Amino acid sequence: MHLIKTITATHARALLQPGVLVCLLFAGLLAAFTVPAEARKADIPYAVAQAIAESPAPDGPEKVIVGAYINDIQQLDFKTNNYTLDLYVWFRWRSPELDPSKTMEFMNRYASDDNLRQELMDAPERMPDGSLYSILRYEGRFSTKFHLEKYPFDTQGMTVIMEDTLSGADSLIYVPDGESPIAIDPVITLPGFTVGKPVMQVTTKTYPTNFGDLSVADAEPYSRVVLSVPVTRPVVAMSIKAFVPIALIIVCASLVFFVRPLYVEGRIGLGITALLTLVALQLSSTSSLPDVDYLMMLDKIYLLAYLFIILALTRIVATSWKGEDVSYQDAITRTDRRWVFWLLLAYVAGNVIVAGTTLWA
């Protein structure tokens, strides 16, 4: 027993030497750093570990997940190229230094003084996966330039364009929220239109300026979210409203060929009345549309109708010099029957060509 105590005391004095203490400290640090990775991960909570694993690299852009819900479509005005939407937009991101719900800007606002932007959260909320979440509601008017070449069988897209006000694509990019990042209230109705399924696209917009900011280069790209709600006009209803009145005027104009050549004044009066009625009809049918620098499909249909009436009046004027001669009346009548047949055939063929080349262009 005395020998054991002597040895123990000797070891204790040896351990207190400075060189031995440094060696023991180095061995302890080496053991700490050589602990298996699985053992070190076991001490980290799962949510924190997942957030660390999924966080972007420090030199990469922040990925902001974005989604939207169309709550209502309140107005669509083709005359002024604007519409009113009520929608929710949400964001999920990871960097606590950002808040894309506050720096996001709607790029195609119209009459912004009438728009209402409501932040539904005072501060971003932490999600189970470690990301930050925020949502806002926006009710306002947006604008886009409608393409009316195929009117009245056109399909229009009511778009909402979003960009981050401060961060370019090198520091922030948008990512759609899953396979269905946008939805619409299934009970939404828009009088006179059929509302289709909305879509979301993420693109990049490059501006040829640095907006006076000397810290960035020219032509800096920005990540952009484009929401689009397609609307179409009912084919049957629009066909009846747009083309039946024109067809009736053409039928009335065709009757000039069935009036006896003797009554030249009556034949010319009937043709001029049809022409004036057609002009008034065109003005009223396009009164709700903007002035465009190209011909719509409906304009081409009207031009064919004008051509039909002008040719009919030309035929009447050309035969008016012989209309009072009884010997020529039968010949004029027979020729008029051929004229009306070929004019109607050419008019129908022209309409088919116009519709085909416009709708399938």
Per residue in 311-322, pLDDT (tens digit) is 999 999 888 877
All domains of the chain, ordered by start, with CATH?
2-53 (no CATH), 60-232 (2.70.170.10), 236-359 (1.20.58.390)
Give residue 359's identity as a one-letter amino acid code: L
95-124 in b/e form (b: 16+ CB < 10 A) is beebbbbeebebbebbeeeeeeeeeeeeeb
The alpha carbon of 85 is separated from its chain's Cα centroid by a whole number of angstroms, namely: 12
The alpha carbon of 34 is separated from its chain's Cα centroid by a whole number of angstroms, namely: 56
Residue 82: CB partners within 8 Å, gap ≥ 6?
75, 110, 111, 141, 142, 143
Q: Are strands 125-126 and 132-143 parallel, antiparallel or unpaired?
A: antiparallel
**Confidence (pLDDT) at 320:** 82
Among residues 104, 148, 127, 85, the alpha carbon closest in space to that of 299 is found at 148
| DSSP H stretches of helix in 176-286 | 235-254, 264-285
* Vertex 265: Cα angle to 259 and 270 (nearest 5): 60
- CA separation for the pair 119, 101 (Å, rounded): 8
**Confidence (pLDDT) at 326:** 65
Mark the ranges of the chain whose per-residue pLDDT is less than 70: 1-59, 217, 323-327
> Is residue 322 within 8 Å of residue 240, measured between CB atoms?
no
Q: What's the start-to-end Cα distance of the chain, in Å? A: 107
> Two tokens at 322?
């012989």
**Confidence (pLDDT) at 323:** 57
User: CA-CA distances (angstroms) from residue 81 to 68, 70, 73, 142, 290?
Assistant: 23, 19, 15, 9, 8
CA torsion through residues 332, 335, 341, 343, sign: negative
pTM of the model: 0.75
SS3 314: helix
Which residue is listed with tokens 């699985």? 38
Residue 9: CB partners within 8 Å, gap ≥ 6?
none
**Confidence (pLDDT) at 324:** 63
